[in-house]
Structure 1
Amino acid sequence: MTSVFESKALARVAIGRLLDAVIHEKILSNEGFLSGFQSVVDFAPDLAIDIPRIWQYIGEIIGPFLIGTSSSSRIDLLTAIFQKIPDTKSKQMFEYIMRYAVDFSSKEHVRELWQSSTLTFEKILKVDLIDSAFVREFEWLINSSSARSDPELVKLFKNINSQDSDIIAYINHHFNLSEKFSIRTIFFSYLQSCLIGQDQEKRIQEDIARSHIGVLKAVINDSPDIEIQAIYAIQHFVHQLDHPPKMAAFFFDIFYDEECVSEDRFFQWYECPDPLESEGYANVVNSTTNFFNWLKQTDEQETFP
């Protein structure tokens, strides 16, 4: 492994993928990998004399290794890996490994692997290293609603004179529409752009809310999965604002009236909530009771004219 540290980044990524492959084929055991990793860590201080970025380069190998191409179980090796990393380097290494894992795959995929494992920050790092700044930086691993608005996209949505085509071009350039995290960020940006007022006085500016619906419809593109993500984005956004009265119902009305989200998807959200998306769900259900009662009545009228 050490010979690759002075090579190009692609070589380090390739080593990470190779390590995953040889473990998958049972050519190398997890124990054998960890033993070799220990040797690299032991030599790292000496290697740092000639290779100052040695810890970054180790992260560049381990990130793709954790994601792998043949199995998703490598993420469970993180605890054992960090038991071999000096405390003085562990926080920095976590940042490097997560950065390159995301670069190799996607933030959403890394989050899904993390949440499907038994990992916690406390299993990786000493408690005194897990400060508020660290939690803010990596909350996306543990909280699927941790998407935030994109300031530039908020500006584009907020400007009634913005062309939908320009907003869509910005989205296509900066976001991967196959990633849940990106979808959340897009919808959070739209929702944020609709707000006026401060703190408890925040309310929705309806002309802004309706001005770029075409962009949202282009993003959703009749995808049931993205429709569901749009609803959960509203749920979590409103929850972050401490559930202003009628706000969730207003956005539900708009998304339904403008045919962004179908009736089926609203009922899917209502009747089959995702356990990982429970934060704020009950409050939004309560605040949208009239909306769902109206949908049910409409269905009954269509069924029994």
Structure 2
Amino acid sequence: MSRVVCDSFFYVIEKKQHYRLKTGLLFANLLRSEKIQLNDYINGLKEVLPQADDLKIDIPKIWDCLAELLVDVICEEVLPLRELHSCCHVLIEQKQADKLLAPLFKLMVSRKGPMFLSSIWKQSNLRVEDFVSDNVTAGFIQDNQLEFLVGGKIKMSFEEMQEALCKVISTSSEIDSISNWISSNIEGQLKENTFIRALATAITIVSLDNKSKLSLSKLTAFQKLITLYVDNDSNKEMQYLYAIQTLINKMEHPQGLLLQICNCLYDMGVISEESFLAWEKDEDPAEQAGKGVALKQLTSFFTQLKENDEDEEDEGSASGN
């Protein structure tokens, strides 16, 4: 069976990326279902990796190719990182292990996010120095943005942050639990617009039933969470509205959904009247995607807001007289 692993790698190593990724996924499934034993897979891999340096003459992107074959068995957690380390013994001696780790970790982060890599790295009790020479460790970490492996904060993209927040807030109804997770994982990005937009998007997605129908009870349940992070800050309130505008535009403007969301946010008092009106008038070129359609759907909403303003001004004038 170890020969099957070895021959399969060499069979697809020069083919298109699609075949390498499918082969990697095949072995992940075979290992999970125990059709192939982990020791057999490891022995096959130990036959392949020592030949990588010689193969780079004919296959300049050999390290990327190997990373594509390995990413699924790591991401599916059927090949522990410590076992990968044992397979890389010859590469470590040749000071080539960093050339495999760089594209492999890049694929892993792209596939499952930095939090996943950070988690399994901690579980392995490995150090970067176990793979990479001390004199190049710092450069390897910096060049590949892997600071989080040595205690640095994880820097997440909008998509990674949104996906992670969706998972957290959909599985926990406790505000303290959610805020503790946010403090532990996104602390360094709390002041960035990306965080508020990701939070707004995640809350809205989790508050939907059947993907396009709003559950008022679900959205209302997030009132304290929204208030905690928006905190009557006009810029954050605007970012929240930008995020909803972007999401609704991606959803191709389901009839009545945006109006329901805005009515609920206004009734909860988490987005002020001033911020809604500022968003309506905003002409930032970078924020115009879907804006026209959104405003048409909110005609009655803004009409009501302005009538409320006029009523308050009339009452103020009457009391003054």
Give the alignment's TM-score, normalised by structure 1.
Answer: 0.51
- 2:192 maps to 1:183: no
Give the superposed CA RMSD: 3.4
Unaligned 5+ residue runs, structure 2?
Answer: 1-93, 103-141, 316-321
Partners of 2:165 and 2:198 within 8 A in 1? no
SS in structure 1 opposite 2:245?
A: helix
Query: Which one of 149, 166, 170 corresponds to residue 154 of structure 1?
Result: 166
Query: Which one of 212, 235, 238 corresponds to residue 228 of structure 1?
Result: 238
Inter-partner Cα distance in structure 2 for 1:277 and 1:97? 33
Inter-partner Cα distance in structure 1 for 2:213 and 2:161? 17
| Residue matched to 1:287 | 297
Alignment of 1:14-33 (within 5 A): none
| Residue matched to 1:71 | none
Partners of 1:183 and 1:226 within 8 A in 2? yes
Alignment of 1:151-300 (within 5 A): 151-158=163-170, 162-175=173-186, 176-198=189-211, 202-300=212-310
Inter-partner Cα distance in structure 2 for 1:189 and 1:162? 14
Q: Note the alpha carbon deviations across 1:239-290, whole angstroms, 9 max, x for none.
A: 1111001111111111111111111111111112321111111111111111
Cα drift, residue 172 of structure 1: 2.1
Inter-partner Cα distance in structure 2 for 1:265 and 1:188? 18
Unaligned 5+ residue runs, structure 1?
Answer: 1-48, 58-95, 109-139, 141-145
Query: Which one of 297, 302, 305 corresponds to residue 312 of structure 2?
Result: 302
Pick closer, same or farther for the CA change 1:164–1:275 going to 2, 3 Å.
same
Inter-partner Cα distance in structure 1 for 2:96 and 2:265? 54
Pick closer, same or farther for the CA change 1:206–1:151 going to 2, 3 Å.
same
Partners of 1:157 and 1:167 within 8 A in 2? yes
Cα drift, residue 213 of structure 1: 1.0
| Amino acid aligned to 1:172 | S
The alignment covers a number of residue pairs equal to: 182
Q: Which has more radius of gyration?
A: 2
Cα drift, residue 148 of structure 1: 6.3
Q: Note the alpha carbon deviations across 1:54-90, whole angstroms, 9 max, x for none.
A: 7999xxxxxxxxxxxxxxxxxxxxxxxxxxxxxxxxx
The structure, 1 or 2, with the larger RCO (C-alpha pairs under 8 Å, 6+ apart) is: 1
Partners of 2:207 and 2:215 within 8 A in 1? yes
Cα drift, residue 233 of structure 1: 0.9
Inter-partner Cα distance in structure 2 for 1:105 and 1:166? 20
Cα drift, residue 173 of structure 1: 2.1
Partners of 2:227 and 2:270 within 8 A in 1? yes
Inter-partner Cα distance in structure 2 for 1:278 and 1:210? 28
Alignment of 1:20-99 (within 5 A): 50=95, 53=98, 99=145
Inter-partner Cα distance in structure 2 for 1:239 and 1:287? 12
Q: Percent identity?
A: 21
Inter-partner Cα distance in structure 1 for 2:207 and 2:160? 15
Pick closer, same or farther for the CA change 1:56–1:97 going to 2, 3 Å.
farther
